[in-house]
Amino acid sequence: MIFSKLRVLIVDDDELMRSFVADLLRRLGVHQIEQAADGKSALVTLIKFQPDLVLSDIHMQPMDGMEFVRQMRRLPNHQISHTRVIFMTSDHAKETLSDAVPLGLRGYIIKPPAVDTLKAKIEAAMR
């Protein structure tokens, strides 16, 4: 896996968490990183940036991560609508995971992620 070629969008309403995850990605060699504070702004960034991977929180306002992915999957541009997604959350509830599965996720990370966990999840998602 060549991390230096990856384009990653981080979506999280916690600015500190976005910065933390961006730092971890840079340590892995990712240079093309964009950030959004909620699902609504992430849709705009997604269309402009066209990432290979989205790392998204679930619980955000005004648009949460699940609705963001639902709307992303309905976009007419096939390349964008099928972007790989890994949810990052501190929500351990089985119901949350079962609600997220039909969205075609490539992974699920409990926050805050360790660099090794993030690396492994990204490698698995990009296969």
Q: Which of 11-20, 28-37, 64-73, 92-101 has the lowest mean pLDDT?
A: 92-101
- Domain of 41 in residue numbering reads as 3-126
State which H helix or E strand residue 57 sits in: none
pLDDT for the residue numbered 31 = 97
The angle subtended at Cα 7 by Cα 124 and Cα 83, nearest 5°, is 60
CB atoms within 10 A of CB 119: 18
Q: Which residues have CB under 8 Å from 105's CB, separation 6+?
A: 69, 85, 86, 87
> What CATH number should be reported for the domain holding residue 9?
3.40.50.2300
Report d(CA 92, CA 124) in Å as an integer.
21
Number of structural domains, the chain?
1
pLDDT, tens only, 12-37: 999 999 999 999 999 999 999 999 99
Does residue 99 surpass a pLDDT of 80?
A: no
Global pTM? 0.95
Residue 44 identity (one-letter amino acid): V
Q: Are 51 and 7 in contact (CB under 8 A)?
A: yes
pLDDT for the residue numbered 34 = 98
